[in-house]
Each structure stands twice: as structure tokens, then as C-alpha cells.
Structure 1
Amino acid sequence: MMRGVVPPRLVALTLAGLAAFWSAGPAGAQVEQLCAVDLNGNGDAADTGETASCTATQEGNWLCPLQATRCTVGETGDYACPLGNQYACQTTVEGEAPLCSPNACTAVEGGGVTDTPVTDDPGVTPDGAVDEAGNCLDHIQIFSGRALRCRTAGLKTAFSNCCRDRGKIVKDGTGSSLTSLSTKITVAKGVFSGMSAAFSAFKAGQTAGQAASAGAKAFIGGIDPTSIAISLAINFMIEFLLSGCDQQDMEVGMLEGSGMCHWVGGYCSSKILGICVQRSQGHCCFNTKLGRIIQEQGRPQLKSFNSIGWGSPEQPYCRGFTPEEFQALDFSRMDLSEYYSELEARAQADIQINMKDKIDGYMQSVSP
């Protein structure tokens, strides 16, 4: 078996287990009303315990359980809210004293919940004119990136931190700055396509085994074993499937942990009645670590990037250099030690692996 290649059967078994998990259905019923409160005073309600499902009341309304207080009987015998008369006393359990809450509820599907649209950046596509040898004759972008976002722990991610560093999964390489700009980004998409295929097949009524086979075929077909640590990718995929993270979260997780993304900034991506319940981070992700480093150190040298920089966290500006801009860069002013040190470490590891293979081969040849 080739080094680094995971047998299709292993991937199929992994996806079969995931399909069985999916068959159990969602963890809970759909929430009808939500409320959110900044309990710790940090400016948002994205932390655990700061959002809650509202409770239906006997009066036909909804009550937020956050900071809810039991109503007291007044001198007239009527219930009154100790938080203030502006808050209504409502009965959640028949026969028990009513409760009141200073926090409002809103329908999940209503205008009370707002989401910042996710930037769907396909990156640079090779759709220009080419010559007979396949060389681009149109507008060339060198070391182009793709705008992506990941979400930190919050309501939309089931309080999972989808931006957490999970280590280096995508293997780096110098790559061709002109012809293979999207190679490593495509690798990240390929992992997601495998689990998506399994999930789609399972939802369509196929058995867990059939769904797993569909996923394994898509997974292996979209992955170059020399470009990715497949065993890590499978573990990574499982972790993401069991969380509230989506495709962009996963792509950023793979590329950021591999040193291929530039962090642009954080922003609020979901609000309930104006209160932030989910924060996200905007990134520019590149095909290689070298591309990210040259972009970070080359942009400050060019006037064309002075006004816009890296864009905004909601809409990162990730375009590549034009040939004229690239020729104008002064590489003597760039610190590429981060990249060189990794090349040296990788060379040492390759030497050790090569020596081990030769020793193992010799021992096998002389063994009786």
C-alpha cells in the first residue's frame, strides 16, 4: 500500500458510521422562539448560557427563561413582577406561580434574527484566453487567494469553535503560481464533497453502506494523497460532522491550520433583536504558505493596496498580484524565514523516511 493512502474500505467504514449517526435524526426539536442576553457584559450573547429557547405560556405568549423571576402576590391579591410592572407575569406550568422576565423572545424565522450574508468567493477561475500550449493570454493573478470565513463558538455553531486550530492537514508546496492557484483549496473542498455525498445518499433513502460507498468514492476521487494527510483529514471530517460547523468553516480549518490563511478580522455574523449571538472571522486563504507570506509582505510595498488593504472581515480582499505588481516587489525586503525553516524541517523528515525505507528493504532482502 502506498504511504499516506487510506484504503477505500476504511473510508467507507468511517462514512458508514457517520451515516448511522445521521440516521438518529436531529438532537432536539426545532426551536420556535429564542431570546438572548449579554450576561457577562462582554458586548455579545455568543457565550454558552446567553441564549435560550423560550417557553410557551398558558396565556398564549412566550417567556424567556434567562433572568426569569417568580412573581409575587401584591396587596390586592394579584401577581406582580418584582422586576417592574412593565414585565407581564405569565404561567408556564399550570398550578404553579407565574414568572416574569425582562428579556424579549423572537421567532427564529422572523425578522428578529438577522444573519450577515456569507461571502461565496469562488476564487480566480481560468476562464480567459490561452495559447496552444495552455498559457494564459488574459488577466493573470499571481498568488491569488479566496475569501472565506469561519465561526467561533456561538449559537449557530452549537457553541463549537469552528475556527480552532486543528493542526497541519494540507501539505504545502511551492506550486505553480500561474497554473495551480486553486489546488490546495480544491483539496479542502474535496474532503467536504465526500461527506456531503454520503449525507445526500443517506437522505435519499440508501442504506448506510451504500451512502458510505458514495462518500468514499467522492472523497478519494477528489484527494491527491501527496497533498493531504488523509488520516488527519478523516478525523477532522468526523469532528466537523459532529459539530455545528459548515463547509466554509471546515475549509478554513484545514487551510488555516496549514499556514495558508491571513486573518483579516472578526465581526458579528448573527443577531437576535440586535444582540450578537454569533461571531465570525474573515480570512484570505491561499494555495501555499509561501503565497500567504509573499502577499502579507508584498502588499505594503504596493500603492494599489494602500486604500483597501485586506478589505473588511465581512468581505476580505484576496486578489492576487498582477504581473506588473509582482515584478515591482522587492524580495530583499521580505522575511521568508518562516517558509525556509519549514522546508529544512521537511527535508530532514524526508531523509529519515528514505533511510528507514532503505534499511527495511535491505533487511527484507537478507531475511531467510
Structure 2
Amino acid sequence: MLFACALVAACQARPAYAQQMCAADLNGNGDAADAGEMAYCSITTSGQHQCPLEETACLAAPSGDFSCPLGPQFSCLPKNGGATCSPHACADVASNPIVEEPPIEDPGTAPDGPVDADGNCMGTVEIFGGRAMRCRPPGISTTLSNCCKDKGKIVKDGMGSSVGSIGTKIAVAKGVFTGMSAAYTAFRAGATAGQAANAGANALIIGLDPTSIAISLAVNFMIEVLLQGCDQQDMEVGMLRGSGMCHEVGSYCTSSFLGICLQKARGHCCFNTKLGRIIQEQGRPQLKAFNGNLWGTPKKPMCRGFTPEEFQALDFSKMDLSEYYADIEARAQSDIQIDMKERVDAYLKAVGE
């Protein structure tokens, strides 16, 4: 992880006797990923471990014994002359390691497939294809930072590339990560946050076409996440999602301890343009091929593009493209539809020749 150490990493730096954790779903939302729902256990004077979550003072009896008001099944451990108890058990991290799911690995459909001697496409033609990706809300792996937070319209949309691969936009996102790396290196070398951001901005300007990215927003993005526990895919999704190019499929657990979820992730299908995302969202329900399984699962989003036959079967008169129209200045809706149809027809003709 490039940025600040997560709680799991900090655990390994503690003495062996202190490598015990506890976690609990205190707010009833199905995980223990929120602040205050996971903790290191403290060691008592008797050498036992005590979970600080919902720690309660024990009641002293005249005989000198203690009883836990949470129930007799919970042990009272000596503390500060008295005793406390907790309903949550401690467990050794070395014997029960935190289970981490890797980021979603989906390179997307290659933009240039094999062709025969006459130039005809021999592979599968996909229109408005996307890529499965994930970002992570606050949790143990992100040092409680929200790596799914929209970062604004950093990546610029463009209808001209609407039938192309998402690879172009992913390359832009990776370019911002390169700038982030330069900023982080400068910060670790003693630069101020402002100086580090300038170093990152210089890397951005050198490596990217300014027409593809909002440089000022990218710089603000670098400053905001400079010390967060977000990885490269978190950052890519944050930029594409904020630019309106991602459809969220749902959430799943990506980090757990003794079966208790400590970190969730949100699976997405991210597309090359906002238009591609809108047409996918409104086109899939029209097609039988997607019935009952519009987007796959949060852990394994299905982000394939339309086949030429599926695309030709779409009824655009039933689609609400107002979200996209709002981004286009001084153009009539009918003109945009005609322009879009002409571009797609030209693309289909090109790949079919």
C-alpha cells in the first residue's frame, strides 16, 4: 500500500503479547467496518486480554468477587483496582489472520482484436464495453478513509470515444496515480503538502494531454488522498465514478477477521464515457440476454459491451438521455441522437469491412 499504514499493518509492529483484536457489529449494519467497531485488546494485570468494545465495570459483591452486569457468561478481569468485562472475545491475529480479498482483476475487452487477411474482425465486437472495478468505503484497510468518495469530474468525457475501449480513460486515471506517486515521494522527502502537490502536478502535465483531464481537480484530488489508505484501483474508480462513468453494482466484504467483515468494497462497471454508462443502464433491461442478471454480482460485475445485434435491437426512444444532454452545450437532442447513430454505424461498418 502506497499511503498511510492500515490498522492491520500497525498490528504487526506491536509486541507479540498485544497482537489480539476484537470486532463487533455495533450499529447492526451487517459488518464491523465502521469507526469504533474494531480494536486491539488490552492486557490486564492478570495477563489476560480484554476487548475495549462495550467494556463495562463489573459489580463487586461483599465477598470481594465481581459479577458482570452483561451476563454471567462474561468474565470479569481486574483493572484499576476493580474489574471490567466485555461481551466480545479477543483473538490472536497471528493464529487468526485477517483475510484480504485482492482487487477485482478485469482488464476489459482488448480494443484491437485479431483480424483476417482482409481486415475483418475475427473476435467478438463489443459496443460500450466496460471494466469491472472496485473501490472501498471506510474500513480497516483504508484507515477509515472513504476511497469511494466522488472526486469531481476529473476525467473529461467525449462522445468521439464513446464506442472505444475504457482503456483510454483507465490510462488517464493511471496517469493521475503516477502524479500521486510523485507527490508522495516529494512528501516523504520533506516537502510540504503544497510542494508535494506541485511535484505531482508537474508529473501530470508531462505525462497527460490536458484535454483529457481537469488538471486543477486532479491536483486537489492528490492533496485530499495523499495520506489515505486508498490503492490504485480505489483512485481510478474515484475519478471515473466522479466523472459519471461508473455503475455501482453493490457491496461485498473484502477483509474479514474470524468471519466478521472489517472492510467492504463496492463493485462497479466503469465505462469509457458517461454516455456509455447511461446506455448500458437503460439498454440492458430491454434485452432478453440480460434478464435476471443485469450486472452480475458485486464481487464479479458483468461489464461486457453490447453485441452489434443487441445494440441494433435497442429502442432509444424509450431511453432518458437527459443526464447526458445536460453536459452538451447548445445542441438539440435530435442532433445528438443522429450524431450518435452515425458514429456507431460508422464504427460497425469499419469493423465489418
Alignment TM-score, normalising by the size of structure 1 = 0.74
Deviation at 1:136, TM superposition (A): 4.7
Partner of 1:46: 33
Once residues 85 and 149 of structure 1 are traced to their aligned partners in structure 2, the CA distance between those partners, rounded to angstroms, is 44
Partner of 1:64: 51
Once residues 270 and 257 of structure 1 are traced to their aligned partners in structure 2, the CA distance between those partners, rounded to angstroms, is 25
> Does the 8 A contact of 1:107 with 1:113 survive in 2?
no
Q: Which of these residues, 233, 241, 256, is aligned with residue 256 of structure 1?
A: 241
Deviation at 1:198, TM superposition (A): 5.5
Deviation at 1:245, TM superposition (A): 2.2
Q: Which of these residues, 248, 270, 274, is aligned with residue 289 of structure 1?
A: 274
Once residues 41 and 112 of structure 1 are traced to their aligned partners in structure 2, the CA distance between those partners, rounded to angstroms, is 24
Deviation at 1:304, TM superposition (A): 1.7
Once residues 226 and 280 of structure 1 are traced to their aligned partners in structure 2, the CA distance between those partners, rounded to angstroms, is 31
Q: Report whether the alignment pairs 1:301 with 2:306.
A: no
Q: 1:183 to 1:131 in 2, by over 3 A?
A: farther
Partner of 1:121: 106
Deviation at 1:156, TM superposition (A): 2.7
- What stretches of structure 1 of length at least 5 have no aligned partner? 1-18, 348-368
Partner of 1:353: none
Q: Which of these residues, 316, 319, 328, is aligned with residue 331 of structure 1?
A: 316
Deviation at 1:194, TM superposition (A): 2.5
Deviation at 1:65, TM superposition (A): 0.6
Q: Report whether the alignment pairs 1:240 with 2:219.
A: no
- What stretches of structure 2 of length at least 5 have no aligned partner? 12-18, 333-353
Partner secondary structure for residue 327 of structure 2: helix
Q: Could you list the per-position Cα deviations for residues 121-177 of structure 1 after superposition, in whole angstroms to 9, with x for gaps in the alignment?
A: 121224622478988542222111111112222333222222223321111101335
> Does the 8 A contact of 1:175 with 1:181 survive in 2?
no
Q: 1:287 to 1:120 in 2, by over 3 A?
A: same
Partner of 1:90: 77
Q: Which of these residues, 124, 130, 143, is aligned with residue 128 of structure 2?
A: 143
Once residues 186 and 153 of structure 2 are traced to their aligned partners in structure 1, the CA distance between those partners, rounded to angstroms, is 30
Q: Could you list the per-position Cα deviations for residues 285-331 of structure 1 after superposition, in whole angstroms to 9, with x for gaps in the alignment?
A: 10001111111122122222224210011111001112222223232
The answer to which of 333-342 and 128-137 deviates more is 128-137
Q: 1:346 to 1:45 in 2, by over 3 A?
A: farther
> Does the 8 A contact of 1:140 with 1:178 survive in 2?
no
Once residues 168 and 261 of structure 1 are traced to their aligned partners in structure 2, the CA distance between those partners, rounded to angstroms, is 12
> Does the 8 A contact of 2:184 with 2:226 survive in 1?
no
Partner of 1:154: 139
2:10 alignment partner AA: Q
Alignment size in residue pairs? 321
Deviation at 1:236, TM superposition (A): 0.7
Once residues 53 and 146 of structure 1 are traced to their aligned partners in structure 2, the CA distance between those partners, rounded to angstroms, is 38
Between the two proteins, what is the percent identity of the paired residues?
Answer: 63
2:269 alignment partner AA: C
Q: Which of these residues, 278, 300, 307, is aligned with residue 315 of structure 1?
A: 300
Partner secondary structure for residue 304 of structure 1: helix
